[in-house]
Amino acid sequence: MSVVFSKPHALTDAVLHYCPGCTHGIIHRLVAEVIDEMGIEGDTIGVCPVGCSVMAYDYFNCDMIEAAHGRAPAVATGVKRALPDKFVFTYQGDGDVAAIGTAETVHAAARGENIVIVFVNNTTYGMTGGQMAPTTLPGQITQTTPFGRDTAVNGFPVRVVEMLATLSGTALAARTAVDTVPHVRETKKMIRKAFENQKNKAGFSVVEVLSTCPTNWGMSPVDALERLRKDMIPYYPLGVYKDADIHNSPEVK
Amino acid sequence: MNTNILIAGFGGQGILFAGKILVYAGLMAGKEVSWLPSYGPEMRGGTCNCSVVIADAPIGSPLVTTPDVLMALNTPSLDKFIETVVEGGIVIADSTMIEQSAIDAAAKSRPDVKIFSLPATELADNNDLQGGANIILLGKLIGETGIISDEHFKAAVDKVVPPTKQKLRDNDVRAMKMGAEYA
Amino acid sequence: MKGNEALAEAAIRAGCKCFFGYPITPQTEVAAYFAKKLPKVGGTFLQAESEVAAINMVYGAAAAGVRTMTSSSSPGISLKTEGISYICGADLPCVIINVQRGGPGLGGIQPSQADYFQATRALGHGDSRVIVFAPSSVQEMVNVVNDAFNLADTYRMPAMILADGLLGQMMEPVEFPETEAKTFDKPWATTGHANAREHNIANSLYLKPDVLEKSIIDRAARYAEIEKEHTKADCYLTDDAEIVVCAYGATARICKSAVNAAREKGIKAGLFRPVTLWPYPKKELIKASENAKCLLTVEMSTGQMIEDVKLSIDCKKPVHFYGRTGGIIPTPAEVLEQIEKLTGEGV
C-alpha cells in the first residue's frame, strides 16, 4: 500500500476552525504545499491578519506572527528587513488588505518589498458576522448593507490587484479562484511563482484568491461556488495583471 | 563662574553658528557648556535665538532667560530681550541692522548695562566678509568679556568648519579679530 | 552633540539594527541621523508610510529578534499606541522615543511634558506597561538608551525614552561608554525554525479567558519585579531640604538652577528628579523628602506627575504644583518665586 494523499508538513495537526464549505482550507493547503515543495518551512515566517484567518498561526508549521488588523504588510516588512534571507508571507482577507490596511498594502508594494501577500477575497467580513467589505459587490446584501450595497452611499468595490499592478514595486499581481480544479491548480501555480519571486529577490508579489463564505452569504457550499463564478469573476476577472522584472525597468536609477 | 549668553536675530544671520563656536571653544577650555536653539517653524528669515551657557560647575537650566551677555542682530531682538539682561550685563548690538533709535532707547531704559554697538554687517560687507557679521559681533563679545581665548576660538572654528572650507576658517578668524579690535 | 543625534548614536552603539520612523517635528534629527549612519553599520533605516506602519515594522523586526526602535513626537505616539499594545501583548522588546511637543491634537512644536499620563499609564489598550526613562541631559540621553535596550530585552517589553524638544535640540558635551553592547539569547524569536525546533509564534490573541488571564498575571509579575529592582532617581541637596522640588527631564534642569538660587538665599531647597517614570522611584522619593515640610512638583503640563508624587508619599505631606504648558518653559525665576512663596508661608 502506498500513501497517495497526505497533509503537507507545513500544516500543523490543529483542526481548522473554518466553517464547513469555506475555501480558506484549500488556500491554506496550497500555501503549505508550496512551502513543502520548495523545502523552505524552516526559513519561512508567516504573518496572519485579523479576520477569519486570525488563528492561522496555529495552522502553519513555520514560525508565525499575529499582526494587528491591516498591519501585516508592515510587520512583514519589519521581519524581512531584519532577516532579508528568510521567506516572509502574509495571509490576509479583504478587510485587512483593502480597508483598514490599505496604506500598508499599497506602500509595501510601492517599496517593492520582497514579500508575498496571499489575499483572500470573499467579499465580506466573515469573522465579525458578514458586514460589508471593501470588495462587497454592488447590490450585495450584508449585515451592514441590508438593502444591498448602494454605490451612492457606499461607493464602489476596490479591485486590489489591478490597483497594485500599477505600482512600479510590484513584481507579480495575479487574481485566481478556488472554485474548480483547474482554478485551484492555477492558484497554486501563482502562489509558487510568488514565493519563487521572493527567492529571486524579484520584489513584491500579491496573489488575490477569490474565495467563498457560505455561512455569511447564506448559501450552501455548492451554491456559494456558483455565486463566485456567476457574480464575482465577472467583477473581478481572473488573470495575471503584472509579471515584471522591477529591478530592470527603465525607472530604476 | 557661570556665563549666560543669548544670541538673537533673524534666521539666516548665523545665530546658531556663532553659538556653536562659543560652546566648542568653551568645551576646549575645559568648561561645562550647553547650547540650545529656539526658533520658529520657518527655516529662513524667522526669529531665531540661541542660549549658550559656559560654566565652571554642571549647568542647571540650559535656557537663558536672564542673560549676562546679549548679542542682538536685529531691532526686534534688542527690543524684546533688553529688559531681561542682568544688572551690570553686556549687550553687543549690530548697528547696521538695528535702528539707532532702538539702541538709544535701550541705553536709556537700561543705564545699568554696558551697550556696545558696532556696524558689523557693514564692516563685513566692506571687508569681503559677507555673512560674517555674526563672527565680528562674537569677536567684540570675546574682546569685552574675555570669555574664551584666541586659541580656543581658532580651535573651535577648525572643529565646526570642515577643512575643505579653509577660506571660511580664515575669514572667521579675520572677522573675530576685526570685532575684538573695533573701538 | 545635539540631544537627538546623541540618542541615535547611542542606539546604534547599543546594537540597534532596524529603525523605522515617520517625519515629525521636533524629532526629525533622530531619523535623519539613523538614515545617514545605520546603513554604514549593516543596519536598516526605513521611512514608513505612517506612524502606524512604523511601529508595526518595529513589531516585525522585534519578533525577528533584532534590536529595533522608532521615534516620534506626541501626535505620532498617539498613532503608535495600537502597535505598542500588540508589542506588549506579544512580549517583544523594542525602544520607542517620544520627543514631546505641546498638545492636545496637533498642539505646537515647542517643548512640553504633557504626555506623562500617556507614557506611564496609557501607551495602548489592555493591562500593559512600558518602562519609561526621562533623561535630563544629553549625556543621560546616551546612558538611558543603553539601559532601555537592556531592560527591554531582559523583560521582553517596550521601553520608552520620554524626552522633549528642549533636550532634543540642545547641544552638550557627551561621552559614549566604551563597553560592548550586551547581547541576549532570544529562543522565542520568529527567525525561521530551521527544522530544529517547534514553530515559534509571536501573538497577543488568547480567546480563552483563563489562558489570557494567566498571560497577564505572568506579565504583571514581571512588572512587579521591575518596580522593585529598576527605579532610578537623582537627588540633589535633598538630605536637609525643607522643600523638595520634584521635576523630570528638561524641567529638572530649570529647577536645579532655582534650587541653587534658593540655597544662595538660605532656603533649604532640594531637587528630586526621577530618571524612571515607570517604575516611579517611590522609595527614593520617600527618602528624599524625609525632612521636607512640603513638596513642589514642577512640570511642563497642568499637573500629571504630581499624582505619582502624591501616591509615592501617600499624601502625607503637602504637595504643591507649578506648571507651564503649551510650549512655554518655566524659568528658574518663576520656580524660585514658588519656592520662596511656599517656604515664606512657613509651610
Q: Is the pLDDT of residue C92 over 50?
A: yes
Neighbours of chain B (3+ CB pairs under 8 A): C
Contact by Cβ (8 Å): A121, A208 = yes
Q: Are C310 and C180 part of one and the same domain?
A: no
Say what the pLDDT of residue C156 is: 98
Contact B65 C166 (CB under 8 A): no
Q: Are C114 and C221 part of one and the same domain?
A: yes
Compute the average pLDDT of residues B64-77.
Answer: 96
Instruction: Tell me the average pLDDT of chain A.
Output: 96
Q: Where are the domains of chain A?
A: 24-244
Q: Does residue A78 belong to the interface with chain C, where contact is any CB pair within 8 Å? A: yes
Say what the pLDDT of residue C346 is: 45
Q: Where are the domains of chain B?
A: 2-181
The CATH number of whichever domain residue C198 belongs to comes to 3.40.50.970
Contact A62 C199 (CB under 8 A): yes
The CA distance from B98 to the nearest CA of chain C, in Å, is 27
User: Which of B33, B34, B36 should one mutate to test binding to chain C, selecting the residue with the greatest count of C CBs within 10 A?
Assistant: B36
Q: Does residue C28 belong to the interface with chain B, where contact is any CB pair within 8 Å? A: no
Q: Which three cell numbers stand for residue C225?
A: 519585579
B19 to chain C: nearest residue by CA? C171
Q: Are C258 and C170 part of one and the same domain?
A: no
Which of the listed residues C205, C229, C253 is the one where a domain comes to its end?
C229
Confidence grade of residue A200 (pLDDT, cut at 50, 70, 90): very high
Q: Are C161 and C245 part of one and the same domain?
A: no
Please name the residues in contact with A21: beta carbons below 8 A apart, sequence gap of 6 or more. A212, A214, A215, A220, A221, A224
Say what the pLDDT of residue B44 is: 55
Contact A78 C86 (CB under 8 A): no
Q: Are C71 and C44 part of one and the same domain?
A: yes
For the segment(s) B2-181, the CATH number from 3.40.50.2300, 3.40.920.10, 3.10.100.10, 2.30.110.10 is 3.40.920.10
| Among the listed residues B131, B137, B117, the one whose alpha carbon sits nearest the alpha carbon of residue B171 | B131
Residue of C170, C171, C257 lying closest to B60 (CB–CB): C257
What does the alpha-carbon distance between residue C61 and residue C78 come to, in Å, rounded to a whole number?
21
Q: Which three cell numbers stand for residue A25?
A: 482550507
ipTM of the complex: 0.93
Tell me which residue range forms the domain holding C242: 234-344
CATH class (in words) of the domain with range A24-244 = alpha beta
Q: Are C225 and C84 part of one and the same domain?
A: yes
Q: Are C217 and C240 part of one and the same domain?
A: no
Identity of the residue numbered C281: P
- Asked if residue C104 has a cis previous peptide bond (ω within 30° of 0), the answer is yes
Q: What are phi and psi of A125, to 5 degrees?
A: -85, 100
**Element (DSSP H or E) covering residue B8:** strand B2-10
What does the alpha-carbon distance between residue C166 and residue C246 come to, in Å, rounded to a whole number?
18
Q: Which three cell numbers stand for residue C343?
A: 517656604
Could you count the other beta carbons within 10 Å of the beta carbon of residue B56? 11
Say what the pLDDT of residue B38 is: 82
Q: Are C36 and C131 part of one and the same domain?
A: yes
How many domains, in total, are found in chain C? 2
Give, in degrees to the nearest 5, the angle at Cα C255 between C253 and C261: 115
Say what the pLDDT of residue B39 is: 61
Contact by Cβ (8 Å): A63, C192 = yes
Compute the average pLDDT of residues C157-176.
Answer: 94
Contact by Cβ (8 Å): B65, C331 = yes
pLDDT in tens, A45-93: 999 999 999 999 999 999 999 999 999 999 999 999 999 999 999 999 9
Contact by Cβ (8 Å): C59, C87 = yes
Contact B34 C172 (CB under 8 A): yes
Contact call for C and B: 3+ CB–CB distances under 8 Å: yes
Which of the listed residues C212, C229, C246 is the one where a domain comes to its end?
C229
- Asked if residue C93 has a cis previous peptide bond (ω within 30° of 0), the answer is no
Compute the average pLDDT of residues C220-232.
Answer: 98
Contact C170 B20 (CB under 8 A): no
Which of the listed residues C229, C263, C285 is the one where a domain comes to its end?
C229
